[in-house]
Structure 1
């Protein structure tokens, strides 16, 4: 048995980028910075080391969330790790990213004029099952 689940809490490192696959499925890409706290062996002080995680979300929910996310927004995400490999200009490239199933706003700055973005999205289920994400991801994204 194997389990591929990830939970990450951090801040967006850039404004999200909304695109569409050739079939019209919305794809939202963004980065999340997560600190790893370690003790510096020379000074004995605790230090934060940032990790920058690429994240991708598919479907109508991704399109809706793109309006409320921006650089610096604190979020908690849940999803699965996905490794991909491609070739560009003769160079083999690869990356590990999180395919986001759930996203929750962690900062109150997303509340404006009594509007709570979490309330709108709490009731919206993810529009893709894990099996449908794999086929869309592999065939429709040109990179």
Structure 2
């Protein structure tokens, strides 16, 4: 039996400060959202225009979450909302689509 493991890289900015859920009934977890808006130069106007915005929720579990929580406590300003970040890992097998108030995905 063979398997293919795909690793994804997400670049963007923190849409919110990371939330930490310490170990208790479940394993420790840290979660944050990364957002990125495509920008393209309009050749007619020579102005930058915003394109599609993509949001990805990132979750770390267990020991990784505990280590990130320690780092965040020591350097909270590094993980402030709006900070540029890069995350890599596996995508969930159940991705969600955000629907705006007009019903557009």
Same fold (TM over 0.5): yes
Query: Are 2:48 and 1:48 aligned?
Result: no
In structure 1, what is the equivalent of residue 90 of structure 2? 80
The Cα shift of 1:22 comes to 3.5
Cα distance in 2 between the residues matched to 1:95 and 1:65: 29
In structure 2, what is the equivalent of residue 123 of structure 1? none
TM-score (norm 1): 0.47
Distance 1:22 1:77, change over 3 A: same
In structure 2, what is the equivalent of residue 64 of structure 1? 70
Count of aligned residue pairs for this structure pair? 85
* 1:36 counterpart (35, 38, 41): 38
4+ aligned runs moved over 4 Å, structure 1: 37-40
Q: Cα RMSD between the aligned structures?
A: 2.9
Higher strand share: 1
Deviations 1:24-51 (A, max 9, x none): 63211100012235688xx9x7543211
Where does the alignment leave 5 or more consecutive residues of structure 1 unmatched? 85-93, 97-143
Q: 1:38, 1:49 within 8 Å by CA — same for their partners in 2?
A: no
Where does the alignment leave 5 or more consecutive residues of structure 2 unmatched? 98-105
Distance 1:19 1:5, change over 3 A: same
TM-score (norm 2): 0.61
